[in-house]
């Protein structure tokens, strides 16, 4: 269930990015990481989209943290 919530946050952030609302997109991804941390719900293959979106938003370090888990 938490993985589906994580995917919903990714979809929200992607839509915000498409609308050029970059700060809000980063905030959505950050909030997701805060509420559904990797140590409680490990990242899976769908988290690659989250990392890629962080990269698109210029947040390389945050993307790297997800990829390097």
Q: What is the pTM of this model?
A: 0.90
**Token pair for 37:** 């941390």
For 12-33, the pLDDT digits (tens) are: 999 999 999 999 999 999 999 9
pLDDT per residue as tens digits for the range 28-56:
999 999 999 988 888 888 889 999 999 99
For residues 7 and 51, the answer to whether their CB atoms sit within 8 Å is no
Domain residue spans of the chain: 2-67
Is pLDDT of 3 > 80?
Answer: no
3-state secondary structure of 68: coil
**The CATH number of the domain covering residues in 2-67:** 1.25.40
């Amino acid at each position: 269930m938490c993985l589906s919530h994580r995917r919903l946050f990714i979809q929200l952030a992607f839509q915000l990015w498409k609308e050029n609302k970059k700060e809000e997109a980063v905030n959505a991804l950050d909030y997701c990481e805060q509420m559904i941390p990797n140590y409680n719900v490990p990242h899976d293959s769908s988290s690659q989209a989250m990392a890629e979106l962080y990269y698109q938003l210029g947040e390389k370090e945050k993307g790297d943290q997800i990829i390097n888990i």
